[in-house]
């Protein structure tokens, strides 16, 4: 997903500003922890009842999307695709209306790229399947064993599942469900998908003209920024890659992360500069979808935030008919989804979202006061969203943070069509 979506996507200020933002985030977390003993005690957590959980996760480990232009290529052999028996779990894929599965142009494009060893680009591997099964087991521990919130077997009345229409995400979802419900189910497992042209689970540059115009050329421009340019030259020279080969830090990180997680022999230069490659990939991404550009973030994840917000409000609304909500909402997404989501919520840690990472949102109601609260986790760790006094955030404050970037479908369409009127196609 990195190279395909980032071909026209790009994100906030490089270097000092991004580092400053990360420091501010860390400072806010530290301050919240310092005063946590007083503020957290104001809410008796034993009186909180869990009402809903939403999980947004990245797919498991996969093969790279584009091989590096080097004579010595890493071999991606089909043996890496072996399916662990415990991850097998039958499912059906439909469109959002319950009709036939849409065509997947991304999968068609990935199958046009055969890596050395025989695998296609972007294929979920055995390692990735095991990662997702482990995530499912963690969710089972949290919401079946520690708290009897979900049924121990899959129940379609309790769980709603949506994924981007890309095979590695569908298969990652299968493995997560197998771990969560131990391959037990009481009804059909339906994974809902959308057409690529109208997908909202990643920044959709194909569907949003204004976002495409705003970010045009920023990926190339990022590689020329001071610091990034010098570091990129250093890494490429160490790997014997020509300066004209079009390799940037996003491609380098994609290959490095895939090779590392599969314990494959990697180029010594990639190993030596691993930390720098990740940081410069993040800087590149932030330069593309610039943090201070509120409308770009809105167009990137505003509709998805609207979905997450609507799920919260339906549960809170006493007028919502029974059966119109679920206990658990699962969304199979990508690194390019999670980065702007984390930025919008004010919890981005300046690290690239790894394979199988999850962002989990819990909704609680106080049994006596009937107040509502949200608890946010990233990578299994409690977070303090922007605008929230502590980790346990009053729902109104959390919704206020989301509202800065949330877009209804109508507003999204209006904003995405403004490029023609405003003449935004300057590539800046």
Which residues are part of the catalytic machinery? 59, 335
Question: Within 10 A of 370 (CB to CB), how many other CB atoms are there?
Answer: 7
CA distance 282 to 276: 10
Host H or E run for residue 30: helix 16-40
Alpha helices in 141-273 (DSSP H): 167-181, 209-215, 218-222, 228-239, 249-261, 268-272
CA distance 64 to 211: 26
Q: Are strands 159-163 and 372-378 parallel, antiparallel or unpaired?
A: unpaired
CB burial class (10 A; 0-12, 13-18, 19+) of residue 265?
A: exposed
- Cβ density class 105-124: b for 16+ within 10 Å, e for less: ebbeebeeeebeeebbbbbb
Question: Within 10 A of 396 (CB to CB), how many other CB atoms are there?
Answer: 10
Question: Within 10 A of 63 (CB to CB), how many other CB atoms are there?
Answer: 27
Give me the residues paired with residue 366 across strands: 48
User: How are the residues of the chain apportioned to helix, strand and coil, as percentages rounded to the nearest 5?
Assistant: 45, 15, 40
CA distance 191 to 166: 12
Host H or E run for residue 363: strand 358-366
SS3 133: helix
CA distance 159 to 249: 38
CA distance 298 to 303: 8
Give me the residues paired with residue 58 across strands: 333
């Amino acid at each position: 997903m990195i190279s395909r979506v980032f071909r026209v996507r790009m994100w906030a200020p490089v270097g000092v500003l991004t580092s400053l933002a990360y420091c501010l985030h860390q400072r806010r977390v530290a301050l919240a922890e310092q005063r946590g003993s007083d503020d957290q005690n104001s809410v008796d957590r034993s009186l909180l009842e869990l009402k809903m959980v939403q999980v947004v996760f990245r797919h498991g480990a996969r093969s790279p999307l584009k091989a590096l232009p080097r004579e010595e290529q890493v071999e991606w052999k089909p043996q890496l695709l072996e399916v662990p028996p415990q991850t097998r779990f039958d499912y059906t894929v439909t469109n959002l209306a319950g009709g036939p599965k849409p065509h997947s142009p991304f999968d068609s494009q990935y199958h046009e790229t055969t890596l050395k060893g025989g695998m296609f680009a972007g294929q979920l591997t055995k390692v990735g399947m095991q990662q997702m099964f482990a995530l499912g087991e963690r969710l089972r521990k949290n919401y079946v064993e520690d708290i009897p919130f979900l049924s121990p077997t899959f129940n379609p009345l309790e769980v709603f599942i949506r994924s981007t229409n890309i095979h590695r995400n569908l298969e990652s979802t299968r493995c997560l469900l197998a771990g969560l419900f131990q391959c037990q189910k009481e009804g059909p497992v339906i994974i809902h998908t959308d057409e690529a042209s109208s997908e909202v689970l990643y920044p959709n540059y194909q569907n949003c003209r204004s976002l495409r115009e705003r970010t045009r050329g920023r990926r190339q421009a990022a590689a020329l920024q001071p610091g990034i340019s010098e570091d990129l030259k250093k890494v490429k020279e160490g790997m014997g890659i020509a300066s004209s080969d079009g390799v940037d830090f996003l491609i380098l990180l994609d290959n490095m992360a895939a090779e590392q997680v599969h314990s494959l022999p990697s180029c010594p230069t990639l190993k030596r500069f691993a930390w720098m490659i990740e940081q410069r990939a993040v800087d590149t991404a932030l330069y593309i979808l610039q943090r201070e550009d509120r409308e770009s973030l809105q167009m990137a994840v505003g509709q998805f935030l609207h979905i997450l917000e609507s799920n919260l409000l339906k549960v809170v609304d006493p007028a919502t008919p029974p059966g119109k909500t679920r206990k658990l909402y699962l969304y199979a997404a990508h690194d390019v989804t999670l980065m702007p989501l984390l930025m919008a919520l004010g919890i981005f840690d300046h690290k690239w979202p790894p394979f199988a990472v999850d962002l989990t949102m819990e909704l609680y109601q106080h049994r006596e006061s009937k107040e509502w609260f949200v608890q946010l986790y990233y990578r299994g760790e409690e977070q303090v969203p922007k605008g929230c006094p502590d980790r346990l955030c009053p729902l109104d404050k959390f919704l206020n943070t989301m509202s800065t970037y949330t877009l209804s479908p109508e507003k999204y369409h209006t904003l995405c069509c403004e490029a023609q009127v405003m003449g935004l196609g300057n590539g800046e």
